[in-house]
Amino acid sequence: MNPPKCDDLDYIHFLIAAQKVFTCTEAARCAPEGAHPPAHDAFTRLLSRQPPDTEALWREAQAFVDRQRGLLVLDDTTLDKPYARQMELVTFHWSGKQRRVVQGIALMTLLWTQGQALLPCDFRVYDKPAGGQSKNQHFREMLQTAHGRGFRPAYVLMDSWYASLENLKQIAALGWRFLTRLKHNRLVNPDGRGNRPIEAVAIPPEGRVVHLKGFGFVQVFRTVSRDGDAEYWATNDLQMEEGKRAELERQGWGIEVYHRALKQCCGVERAQVRKAVAILGHLHLALRAFLRLEVYRLRTGVSWYEAKAAIVRDAIRHYLAHPIHTLQPTA
């Protein structure tokens, strides 16, 4: 059997350098010249032979993560695939960007942050029609994996979608603290006189300790979003103050910044392969590409966007010094 003509790093660095087109064909066109350059099929086979787990991502991320500090943030994003007809893993999901249900791939990421760093440590793809696991089951699986890797985060942050009793109980069983949004109809008992929707409970600005049905006592807060809607927060840290909650919310917003950069800088939603194994391989390598851009940002202060622009700028500078598209004199 002939050895592979390209490896993980060939594709990762292509994703970092590419600006608009992130296909295997384009990766082959951009490969350095040599006696036997890789064809596009070599990159397609590379994606298909990626391992099904996320250990390679973790091996690279763990050197930059302080497992005894920081936050673990979980959220998902929809990778838009509006024109996919025979692409596996593509189903219908709610898109926060488009504010409607769209066709795409649901990518879940467990992100570690300590204020500045945004480091993906694990990910899953929600594909219940084929995979059988719900988003909450994927979440608990990632939590258990993180615990096995030695994580002891200060808090676990997630949206109301992941605030199920099973998830909250697992976080508490691991000895961790959480901060999560709650839906307005979650039942709480504020005064021992019975459960009622949290939206019907008076919550002062400094928060209030209530009994969350099925879980136990939590500290809850009420805030107002930018569009004027009430938002409800809950934590099993009964001593948390509003200032601390607001700071944790600010740090947790980093996962939305990460999602945007992953799409704009690493081509995570632009893979033009159909099989699930190749799609997962592309997603895995895209996260590893982002990890390199993020570590470079932390070391140098250069943004992800400037780091990518610098690659093209050097190519333009070289072309301007040696232009090839010229008009030859006719006289």
pTM over 0.75: yes
User: Strands (DSSP E) along the chain, which ranges?
Assistant: 71-80, 91-95, 100-113, 118-126, 155-158, 178-182, 187-189, 196-197, 208-212, 216-224, 230-235
- 106 in Cβ contact with 130 (< 8 Å): no
pLDDT at residue number 255: 96
| Amino acid 35: pLDDT | 64
One-letter amino acid at 307 equals: A
At 331 the pLDDT is 56
Whole-number pLDDT of residue 131: 67
pLDDT lower than 50: segments of the chain: none
- Looking at residue 130, its pLDDT comes to 66
Residue 148: φ, ψ to 5°:
-65, -25
Per-residue pLDDT tens digits for 37-79: 888 899 999 999 998 899 999 999 999 999 999 999 999 999 9
Are the C-beta atoms of residues 178 and 236 closer than 8 Å to each other?
Answer: yes
Give dist(CA 4, CA 66) in Å, integer: 35
